[in-house]
Structure 1
Amino acid sequence: MLTSDRDESPAGGRGLLDIGGRTFSSLRTYPDFRRLWISNLFFFGGVWTHTLILGWLVFDMTGSEFLTGVFTAGRLAPMMLGPISGVISDRFNRVKLLLGASVWAFAAIIMIAVLVATGQASFWAVFVGGVCIGLAQSPSQPARFALVFDFVGRKNLNNANALNSIVTNMTQVLGPALGGAMIAVFGVSTSLWVSSFWYVISFLALWKLRDSGKPAPRVEREPIMQMLSAGLRAVFSSQLATAVLLVTFAANILLWPMYQGFMPVFAEVSLGLDADGLGWLMTCSGLGGLVGSLTIATLGDVRFKGALFVFGTGVWAVSWILFAGAAMNGSLPWSFALMGLVGLASAPFGVLQSTLLLMMTERGVQGRVMGIQELAIGVMPLSTLVLGLAAELVGVAAVAQINGVLLVLFLVVLGARVPALLRYSGIQPQS
């Protein structure tokens, strides 16, 4: 069950001095967070498996970078509902929202599997299925992030968010490798049927918490537009929170679409890889991200979180520039190694964007704040369409290099304009 305050040090803190204890402290100490973590592991296992399977299916059917971008844009479009999703997260039972998301995702994948098996899987049919999957994933994200704070509190938030990032990276390792291998052995239809059960396990892991995650009674009566306005004020009245949100916005315009939508193009066009090879390429990124997230989890409530966020994001951008250069030259060994570096360098951005926003805003509006973050991520579908057109004109590797340079320049300007972000530790609550 939820408690009103989890900020005190957990019992048995002395036993966390060893590295393993520090790294997994939130999982060992908070049973509710442990159940959420397991549910997330299987939910995102399904997401990453289907990202590869459906991306491969669309590009194999169409041979078009632009249509691959259109499909990815449709799958990610529900992110644009972020502010409304945040209001829903603060207004209703968060755990039940996640249970509903698992059921919806399972049904969407089964629908696409039936279409593929019966030979009716046109591009637009798969596109609609992709939108349905996005409706399961994206609107539930604010509730997932806010529940972490509910279950572990402020002091352990960085560790818990890093462990959640480990979920993403573990599933990036397992999901694409499994998806690519299943396509090679069984074909797309059977792969979809088998992998749909990721969501069943996610549902079962969270079922015991179905009575947790209830909002405060006053929130249930608050007008929706008033709730939305309060969330917007919570972010944009803070220069630091606004700066963090701008980094999220820039990264999701420039580079995240490359990973979400165009890895099949890198694999097949630039590197001559099949579906299994694509799976292993994405697995390298997942392994790198896993190492990075474990490192951040071990550091715990580290000082200068803002500096780690900004500089880590810059290193991630440079890694993309190097990977795109290797792919452009058709160098398989360097491409696999540099994709691992991309994953490693993505960890500070992936972990700290949510940690910082949660620390910089009040607890009562955190679902809405995470919803606004989801909207900043939600620019990705529109960016994907533009990048798909650019990739058809100059090539996907050239687009990735240009965008990497633009992100580095943006971070330099931001650091100069908002130096307080580089000094921010979050160890003491904002007044």
Structure 2
Amino acid sequence: MTEADTRPTQRIGIGTAVSSLRGNRNFQLLWTSNLFFFGGVWTQTLVLGWMAFEMTGSEFLVALFTAVRLAPLLLGPIAGALTDRFDKVRLLLVACGWATTAIAVVSFLASFGMLSYWVLVAGGLAIGLAQSPSQTARASLALELVGTANLSNANALNSLAMNMTQVVGPAIGGAMIAGLGAPAALWVSTAWYAISFALLLLPLRSIPHVAHAEPESVLRMLVSGFRLIGGNRLAVCVLMVTVVANTFLWPVYQSFMPVFADQRFGLDADGLGVMLSCSGIGGLIGSVVIASLGDFRNKGALFVFGTMVWGALWAVFAMLTSPPAGFLVLAIAGFASAAFGVLQTTLLLIVTAKPLHGRVLGLQELAIGMIPIGSLLLGVLAQTFGVAVVTFWAAVLLVLSVGIVAVRTPSVLRIR
């Protein structure tokens, strides 16, 4: 029997749900900074997407904007090598400071009527440049702050923060677009980022990480990271699931929700905010459930089957035209998505060595970087066949792809 098999079963409850936060001031600061950072992300995602659709009325141009905004995710491997090589808190300060400045400039231009579609695209690119270094550093630092035993709980709490703000951010953004206009909503997003940055300036102690006896160049670290991670079959399987999810499904959520709201459900910006909030509520509940499980077994199985259920629910959503039914299915899909959102990072950190954590998370960012490519592809198809048909088949392809990964490498189901 392994050590994991002989541990006593943990009790599920509130104490377990927040175990990584209790008595850990550094992680408390990081988690609170994450909360406000994700708030900024979700608010500007809704507002900028709505503005792009309002300016153009084109599904393809909305998808193009999303693709450009998320294109910097393709730099994830470089961001991961930087995370392994340099101080993580400083990287976070640079990335968060850049994001705050970029969204402030876009807000200023929008407020004075100087924001054309192509200027909006350039602003989205500038904002996106902060995401990869921020995500890899935040996830890798969390492990160093809480340890392996609390890793699932910490990632679930980070997902909880993301889903809490996914509920609040879009609702505020949609209400402010309807009541005060998009520029005011963008200033709210700027404030979220600014608070996240301020929390990182507090005395969050930098956790020393393993340094090379003779520091390697970023290029050599990239090459060695690709080689070592490429030989890790379990890590490759988790990354493959991340690739297909971000090729087939996340582009729909990132690009087409304004189109679904307007064309399928007849909703305005307020209604769009409610749609996104329903998904966030489901994800929030799912994250709480996973956090309450503590260091549970069968993480791999939950990751695989939860992702497949999530895809199946999106196929159902694509066929709906009733707003109440759409809201309900989005909430359930959000609940199922917690298995994917929480456990993809947890599993990657479990199956790789600590000196590779930044780089494997960088490859995860590269996999997430399939969203721009998927957005362009699905945008072209949606322009011809409609968002409902494209979303249905994209969801079906996700379910089939994840099933094939599980069948070909069943050991991924047994990751504990």
User: Which band: TM-score by shorter chain?
Assistant: over 0.9
Q: Could you report, residue by residue, the CA deviation over 1:215-261 in whole angstroms, capped at 9, with x for unpaired residues? A: 44427721222211232133211111111110000111100100011
Q: Would you say the 8 A contact 1:245–1:376 is kept in 2?
A: yes
In structure 2, distance between residues paired with 1:135 and 1:209: 26
What aligned pairs does 1:185-200 form with structure 2 within 5 A after superposition?
185-200=179-194
Of 267, 271, 274, 2:268 maps to 274
Of 54, 76, 85, 1:60 maps to 54
Structure 1 length-normalised TM: 0.92
Q: 1:32: which partner in 2?
A: 26
What aligned pairs does 1:65-80 form with structure 2 within 5 A after superposition?
65-80=59-74
* 2:116 is the counterpart of 1:122: yes
* 2:142 is the counterpart of 1:148: yes
Q: 1:338: which partner in 2?
A: 329
Q: 2:362: which partner in 1?
A: 371
Q: Could you report, residue by residue, the CA deviation over 1:162-207 in whole angstroms, capped at 9, with x for unpaired residues? A: 0010011011101100100111111111221233111111112122
Of 81, 97, 101, 1:103 maps to 97
* 2:99 is the counterpart of 1:83: no
* 2:349 is the counterpart of 1:355: no
Of 220, 227, 235, 2:221 maps to 227
Give the letter for the 1:371 counterpart: G
Q: Could you report, residue by residue, the CA deviation over 1:275-307 in whole angstroms, capped at 9, with x for unpaired residues? A: 011001000000000000100000111111111
Q: Would you say the 8 A contact 1:142–1:367 is kept in 2?
A: yes
Structure 1 runs (4+) greater than 4 angstroms displaced: none
Which range moved further: 412-421 or 36-45?
Answer: 412-421
**Secondary structure of 1:143's match?**
helix
Give the letter for the 1:361 counterpart: T
Q: Could you report, residue by residue, the CA deviation over 1:94-118 in whole angstroms, capped at 9, with x for unpaired residues? A: 1111112221111111111222122
Q: 1:418: which partner in 2?
A: 409
In structure 1, distance between residues paired with 2:116 and 2:105: 13
In structure 1, distance between residues paired with 2:137 and 2:207: 9
In structure 2, distance between residues paired with 1:17 and 1:406: 38
Of 358, 376, 381, 1:385 maps to 376
In structure 2, distance between residues paired with 1:67 and 1:195: 23
Which range moved further: 25-34 or 346-355?
Answer: 25-34
**Secondary structure of 1:218's match?**
coil
Paired residue total? 410
Give the letter for the 2:158 counterpart: N
Q: Would you say the 8 A contact 1:288–1:343 is kept in 2?
A: yes
In structure 2, distance between residues paired with 1:422 and 1:297: 20
In structure 2, distance between residues paired with 1:193 and 1:71: 20
Of 224, 241, 244, 2:238 maps to 244
Change (3 A) 1:160 1:220: farther
Q: Would you say the 8 A contact 2:278–2:327 is kept in 1?
A: yes
What aligned pairs does 1:33-48 form with structure 2 within 5 A after superposition?
33-48=27-42
Change (3 A) 1:134 1:213: farther
Q: Would you say the 8 A contact 2:70–2:369 is kept in 1?
A: yes
- Structure 2: unaligned runs, 5 residues or longer: 1-7
Q: 1:428: which partner in 2?
A: none
RMSD between aligned residues: 1.7
